[in-house]
Amino acid sequence: MQILPEWFVIFNENHILTKENRMNTSNGQIRNNRLGVIILAAGKGTRMKSEKAKVLHCVHGRPMLSFSIEIARNALAEKIIIVVGHQADVVKANFRDEDLIFVEQRKQLGTGHAVMQARGPLEDFSGDILILCGDVPLLSAETVSHLLESHAREQSVVTVLTAMLDDPFGYGRIVKTSGGDVLKIVEEKDASEEEKKIKEFNSGIYCVESSFLLQAVGEIKDDNAQKEYYLTDIIEIACRRNLPVRAVKVENVQEILGINTPEDLRRAEDHMAGISRGKEP
């Protein structure tokens, strides 16, 4: 039996995910109760100013990546696929568990390209794929539960976790219709001045129907300012096919802010210390 650290924000009694209650949504219908997880952990993290792979930097005595793995296990994922790149062998050496599947992104060509590397292990999988980031250690199990429940209840093909900031500089903006439907996600460097005024931003965390995901990532192009394959492009692909795309807002924005600098790391450490004391910092 796996024992969680006392500081970990575990599911309360109403949020424990089992195969049974993933099916028992409010409308009683769900396409499939199987879940796979892809964790994006290939980045070097140049702004950390360290030779160490970013996901191996510790928060509260644990490598950041371990938090995402914990989330995946508590969501009862049947497959946990970790996309590694920078210092791939070192990262793998730190996580030797048999339930983890590692794939390598040899060239850093964007988040869409990273997910492409996970297609092999998912060829025989049918269900939903939860996509997590290996550098977001503050994400709570309750938030993931809410995301998965909403995805099932709304029968979405893509559900993206979002949040609000007055100035979400550096994050992709959530572009919606006047009725509130998600149209696309525009990255900072590709956004117009009007789009940069949007306060709702992308966390980089998604739940996606597996067959759509595997097909859509093969259609992503690198025709953008970064010349990268953006995973966010799957939103537009779904919309063009009139497939349901939803956004779920997280209330505590601190949960989904990535760790990109030593200052971010200190902030996460302080936040986690507050959780271990039983209060928000």
Residues marked as catalytic: 47
In contact, 83 and 120? CB cutoff 8 Å: no
Taking CB atoms within 8 Å and a gap of at least 24, the contacts of 215-221 are 217/112, 217/115, 217/116, 217/119, 218/116, 220/112, 220/113, 220/116
Tell me the angle at which helices 64-74 and 141-153 cross, rounded to the nearest 10 degrees.
50
d(CA 65, CA 56): 7
In contact, 157 and 243? CB cutoff 8 Å: yes
d(CA 207, CA 243): 14
DSSP 209-262: EHHHHHHHGGG----STT----TTHHHHHHHHTT--EEEEE-S-GGGG----SH
